[in-house]
Amino acid sequence: MTDPISSDLRASDLRSCLHGLWLPLIAPFREGALDEASLRRLVRHYTALPVNGLILAATTGEGLTLTPKETQRLVFAVRDEAGARPLPVCLGLSGSNTAALLDTLETTAAWPIDGYLISCPYYSRPSQRGLELHFGALADRAAHPLALYNIPYRTGVNLGNEAMLRLAMHPNIVGLKDCSADRNQSLDLLRRRPNDFSVLTGEDAQYHEALTDGADGAILASAHVETEAFARLQSLMAAGERDAALACWQSVADLTRLLFSEPSPAPIKYWLWRTGLIDSAEVRLPMTEVSAELATRIDREIERRSPHPSPREERGEGEAAITAL
């Protein structure tokens, strides 16, 4: 595959841009395959909004179900479509086999990405020393900088602050997506981290709290919806407008609960499909589409937030699309 990206875009320095609102983009599917038309539509949509960067093929992007070829196609299509507004792009990786991940870093070294978001190994529950050696080996080898992803309730292991802070000294480890779900751990890390080490929350429902505590930004699946309001919250916080920030947060806080009330990203995909941004709400097994009950609640929320016809309804496809679900 030829690389359509100029070297300038690839050279963007993740350390300097890992802040603000990052979107972990969904991977749209249609009839079992990656739906590139919807993917490109999404990229056009979000690159026109105040998003600081994109994460591809992570949890929300159903990276665990993508083949290596699909992941490559996804990355190159996003970069190609984003052309005019070259947002930084990180590739989500996960795995519990250090050697296999090293191979993946090798395979993807020449891809047009600005970094990796790599989660802790899951299931095998290594020691803190094992985690440190694992991430150290990956960081030594990676051609692009790494942000680490600590999410104990998914992986079964917590990357503690002592190991994290030692890893933060590695020149190729530039930040953390923090889903520790432990406010004391996050506060301690925010207090002790090096100045140039970014901490972004990945806990949608704790977004306002994390910014109040000093996080540099967030990676939020919920921000697929009401993206501008999610971004505005950070500008208001930065400007010290606390009351306006709280009001802004209150306008979207319920959304974070609604969109995670069944396993993500099915609720988000349903919303994006109903509003015409993607052509199908399909997810890949073992994930399943939203229940009829949640679909009704989302429909009501879409209606409440935007009483105008969606692009799909304007094309007269509303009812047909609903029946096809």
Ligand X SMILES: O=C(O)C1=N[C@H](C(=O)O)C[C@H](O)C1
Contacts of 246 (CB under 8 A, 6+ apart): 208
Q: Distance between CA 178 and CA 188 in Å, rounded?
A: 12
- From candidates 35, 114, 204, 289, binder to ligand X by CB under 6 A: 204
* Encoded tokens for 234: 């950070």
Residues 260-319 that bind ligand X (CB under 6 A): none
- 113 assigned binding-site residue: no
164 binds ligand X (CB under 6 A): no
To the nearest whole angstrom, how small is the minimum distance from the Cβ of residue 215 to ligand X?
13
Contact map string, positions 214 to 253, toward ligand X, x by CB under 6 A: -----xxx--------------------------------
201 binds ligand X (CB under 6 A): no
159 binds ligand X (CB under 6 A): no
Nearer to ligand X, 56 or 277 (CB): 56
Nearer to ligand X, 45 or 154 (CB): 154
Whether 177 is catalytic? yes
- 268 assigned binding-site residue: no
24 binds ligand X (CB under 6 A): yes
To the nearest whole angstrom, how small is the minimum distance from the Cβ of residue 200 to ligand X?
10
Nearer to ligand X, 224 or 274 (CB): 224
- From candidates 38, 52, 60, 206, binder to ligand X by CB under 6 A: 60
202 binds ligand X (CB under 6 A): yes
Question: Which residues are known catalytic residues?
Answer: 149, 177
